[in-house]
Amino acid sequence: MSEHTLTSPEVSFAAKPSSGTKRIWNVFWLLSFITVIELVLGFGLAKHWYGSAGMILFIKGVICILSLAKAYYIVSVFMHLGDEIRNFIMTIVVPLLLFIWFIAAFLWDGNSWKVLRNTDAGSRTEQKATPAAKPEGAKD
């Protein structure tokens, strides 16, 4: 057992705390760097740098993945979850996997509502309502 005090009688061992703060600062610079990249990509969205809808979707996907990377570093290093024992990590992380289904199902559902509304529930071929012709706020 290390010289480090145990915080509670049921805790069996305490990891020796790291002596320096190098890792914390490394993660800080990494998070800042990722945020700057996100901002540059987002600025491109604002200034319409990316032509096609497919390209815009791709850039948005990249930004989402970068955000997940930030989340990983915050949870793993700043919140020290990476230093906990594996079983504990799994009880936190595995339930969060529900989000995969949750996001996919609900966004799919939202898109389905849009299609049903634009086609009068499938009774005619899709006519994309132009926003200028119809005040969207009236319905929502």
Partner 1 sequence: MATAAIPTGMKWWNGGRSPFNASYGKVMMWYFLMSDAFTFGAFLISYGTIRFSVNYWPDPNQVFNAFPGFGHQDLPLAFVSLMTFILIASSVTMVLAVHEGHHMNRKGVEKYMLMTIVGGLAFLACQAWEWTHLLTGEHISLMENGTLAAIPTTVSGNPWGAAVPHEAMLAALQKTPHDQLVSIAGSLHHAGGAHHDMSKMADGELINMIRAANVHVTLPGPRAFGGYFFGITGFHGFHVFSGVVINVIMYLKAKWGHFDQRGHYEMIEKTGLYWHFVDLVWVFVFLCFYLI
Among 8, 52, 123, 125, binds partner 1 (CB under 8 A): 8
Based on CB atoms, which residue is closest to partner 1, 3 or 123?
A: 3
* Site for partner 1, residues 27 to 56, rule: CB under 8 A: 28, 31-32, 35, 38-39, 41-43, 45-46
Among 5, 52, 123, 125, binds partner 1 (CB under 8 A): 5
To partner 1, the closest distance from the beta carbon of 1 in angstroms equals: 8
The string of DSSP codes covering 66-81 is HHHHHHHHIIIIIS-G
Query: CA-to-CA distance for 19 and 29, rounded, in angstroms?
Result: 19
Among 7, 52, 123, 125, binds partner 1 (CB under 8 A): 7
Residue among 134, 132, 102, 105 at smallest CA distance from 118:
134
Residue among 30, 2, 12 at smallest CA distance from 84:
12
Contact between 92 and partner 1 by CB under 8 A: the answer reads yes
